[in-house]
Structure 1
Amino acid sequence: MDYRLNVTYITFGGHVEVHKYRYLYFVIMFTVYILIISSNFTIVCIIMIHKNLHEPMYIFIAALLINSVLFSTAIYPKLLIDFLSDEQIISYTGCLFQWLSSYWLAVSDFFLLSIMAYDRYVSICNPLKYTTIMQKTTVNLFLFSAWILPACLFSVGFLLTAKRKICTFHMKGILCNSTVQALHCERSKILNIYGLFLFVTGAILPLLFILFTYARILVVSYRCRGVRRRAAQTCLPHLLVLINFSCLSAYDVLLPRVELDFTKIVRFIMSIQLVIYHPLFNPIIYGLKMRRIYDHLKRLFCKMV
């Protein structure tokens, strides 16, 4: 514990030989961070510039990619500073903020993926009603809800956690995640119940809704040959993103709760994978698998060359 300026500091113990490989770690992760920002914002700008992409589906994709940049910004700057620092520490308040912001954006991703699934469901299963249902006001309301509702949910968790007394000042990982509760002197039943509520509300229910809508799309596609290709072109990228994000989220939630004797380097590699795969995976999938976006990207790179 560090009492400088009456601030409580938490030490990260998950770094592997950071003093020996600090510059290598920094260069690799800084390059990845730049790639995340440039790739995501490239597609977002393409969607904003071209009028034929001003449709609900592409607007939701842009929102999802903005989320990826925000998530990375909540993680990477602190991670890069730690690589170059003699001590890998963070204030308890800063740790709670990193935990809140990363999980808020993760739940927001689930909400956005649910909205995108609903958008595809209406487009494929009720095409005649699509323009009536997915109006500009509805799209704005969906986007507002996808960011504000998770923020409100996790703000309550933040306030409940901030009031808890901590007795441990060392974390095994390199990031602040749900393991922050292990710092508390006593386990809180209220926090455990609320955490379960957040998990069900922010992950399980959206996932079930997505599976239901895509099951309905699959049934309609099976009956009507004319919509099979359209469904495959627009739904496959969303499903790939969903599978990737769900697997990474399940790992992040379950690993701290499963007492497995992983070596330090294994935990370090797994933590690094969490912050690399999802933010980079999204723009690659949408850039390659969404035909309209791919065409605009192709023209852009041809002009640059």
Structure 2
Amino acid sequence: MMHNFSHVRLFFLSGLSETMNYRVVLFSLILISYCFIVLVNVALIVTIILDKNMHEPMYILLCTFCMNGLYGTTGFYPRILWDLLSPVHVISYTGCLVQALVIHSFVCSDMSILAVMAYDRYVAICRPLVYHSIMSKQRILMLVCFSWLTPFCISAMNIILTSRLKLCSPYIAKLYCMNWIIVKLACFPTDTIVNNIVAYITIIIYIFHGFLIVWSYVYVIKTCVNSLENRAKFMQTCLPHLTSLLIFLVAILFDVFNERFGPNLPPTIQNVIAIELFILPPIMNPLIYGFKLTKIRNRILGITCKIQR
């Protein structure tokens, strides 16, 4: 018989249970990863903010991208580091919802920013004569707000709907809280109908983001085929974006794979797959852009040389 835990105040996270024998090693590795993520993202953000030559749409969007990476990882790393130091892995009901909101909005914002960056590259390469009039400061500000506020509002709506559910279990078999995991703990399937509808609408919205990215790059590639100058611009500015997009999609696919086949995998493998969303994109994105974009690379190398002197 299933007990009614509709007044759940604590959730028990069981994702770390099988790996606690290596807690010191895990804590060290995760702490080093988090510090490195903060270092490379903050370095890139500060470089863009301080250099007036980089106050252009592409760099502003990149800065937004890195800020979102810091936002998402802050919703994950401090909590898991705390759990590794604690004998019991519990999180409050409110804390779980907040973490789910941060992670959900982080993932959705990444997709929105990638879509805006793809549109920016489309205008820059396919319509260069009107680029500055289309991608004005006002338009960029509006697009940045869209990339942050819309995903946050959509995610908040999902979390608010989840918060009304009566729960029949306080146990979460994962390292962190996700909205769909909490929904699966609901007592009555009929209670989740609205949640499922909103979740499907959310998925459709971000599938359209994907179509926008594909549409943008179809036109970009068509334009670059017969132009040596545009091909050089594509390799310089579009390739990093496509690499970031590929890393993001791989991370999402791994997460879907973990949800579908995770129970059949060893716990350690499940945990590695579960956290790669918070390791690969936040680390790789600033490194890819930092090495590939000439202005950023030269600026960072210049600062490094001054520090060494």
Provide the C-alpha distance between the structure 2 equivalents of 1:286 and 1:16, rounded to a whole number of angstroms: 37
Superposition pairs of residues 154-303 of structure 1, within 5 angstroms? 154-177=155-178, 178-187=180-189, 188-201=192-205, 203-253=206-256, 255-257=258-260, 260-303=263-306
Provide the C-alpha distance between the structure 2 equivalents of 1:300 and 1:119, rounded to a whole number of angstroms: 28
Q: Could you tell me how far 1:273 is from its partner in structure 2?
A: 2.0
Provide the C-alpha distance between the structure 1 equivalents of 2:21 and 2:260, rounded to a whole number of angstroms: 31
TM-score (norm 1): 0.94
Q: Could you tell me how far 1:255 is from its partner in structure 2?
A: 3.2
Provide the C-alpha distance between the structure 2 equivalents of 1:16 and 1:292, rounded to a whole number of angstroms: 46
Provide the C-alpha distance between the structure 2 equivalents of 1:193 and 1:253, rounded to a whole number of angstroms: 19
Contact 2:258-2:273 at 8 Å conserved across structures: no
**Counterpart residue number, 1:139:** 140
**Counterpart residue number, 2:47:** 46
Q: Could you tell me how far 1:283 is from its partner in structure 2?
A: 0.9
Superposition pairs of residues 114-125 of structure 1, within 5 angstroms? 114-125=115-126
- 1:165 match: secondary structure: coil
Distance 1:7 1:161, change over 3 A: closer
Stretch moving more, 237-246 or 248-257? 248-257
- 2:168 match: secondary structure: coil
Task: Report the residue type matching 2:286 in the other structure.
Answer: P
Q: Could you tell me how far 1:17 is from its partner in structure 2?
A: 4.3
- 1:90 match: secondary structure: strand
Contact 1:221-1:228 at 8 Å conserved across structures: yes
Q: Could you tell me how far 1:74 is from its partner in structure 2?
A: 0.6
Offset from partner CA, 1:183-230 (integer Å, 9 cap, x none): 1112312211211111121x3111111011011000000022221101
Q: Could you tell me how far 1:29 is from its partner in structure 2?
A: 0.9
- 1:11 match: secondary structure: strand
Provide the C-alpha distance between the structure 2 equivalents of 1:55 and 1:237, rounded to a whole number of angstroms: 17
Superposition pairs of residues 76-87 of structure 1, within 5 angstroms? 76-87=77-88
Stretch moving more, 167-176 or 37-46? 167-176
Give ranges in structure 2 of 5+ residues lacking alignment.
1-6
- 1:10 match: secondary structure: strand
Task: Report the residue type matching 1:170 in the other structure.
Answer: Y
The number of aligned residues is 299
Provide the C-alpha distance between the structure 2 equivalents of 1:18 and 1:250, rounded to a whole number of angstroms: 24
Task: Report the residue type matching 2:99 in the other structure.
Answer: Q
Provide the C-alpha distance between the structure 1 equivalents of 2:167 and 2:33, rounded to a whole number of angstroms: 34
Contact 1:179-1:256 at 8 Å conserved across structures: no
Q: Could you tell me how far 1:260 is from its partner in structure 2?
A: 5.0
Provide the C-alpha distance between the structure 2 equivalents of 1:299 and 1:18, rounded to a whole number of angstroms: 43
Contact 2:8-2:167 at 8 Å conserved across structures: no
Task: Report the residue type matching 1:131 in the other structure.
Answer: H
Contact 1:18-1:83 at 8 Å conserved across structures: no
Task: Report the residue type matching 1:293 in the other structure.
Answer: I
Distance 1:157 1:58, change over 3 A: same
Provide the C-alpha distance between the structure 1 equivalents of 2:115 and 2:28, rounded to a whole number of angstroms: 36
Distance 1:267 1:258, change over 3 A: closer
Provide the C-alpha distance between the structure 2 equivalents of 1:257 and 1:291, rounded to a whole number of angstroms: 41
Provide the C-alpha distance between the structure 2 equivalents of 1:65 and 1:275, rounded to a whole number of angstroms: 13
Contact 1:44-1:62 at 8 Å conserved across structures: yes
Stretch moving more, 81-90 or 26-35? 26-35
Contact 2:166-2:187 at 8 Å conserved across structures: yes
Q: Could you tell me how far 1:12 is from its partner in structure 2?
A: 1.0
| Identical aligned residues as a percent | 31
Task: Report the residue type matching 2:267 in the other structure.
Answer: K
Task: Report the residue type matching 2:209 in the other structure.
Answer: P
Give ranges in structure 1 of 5+ residues lacking alignment.
1-5
Distance 1:20 1:258, change over 3 A: closer
- 1:154 match: secondary structure: helix
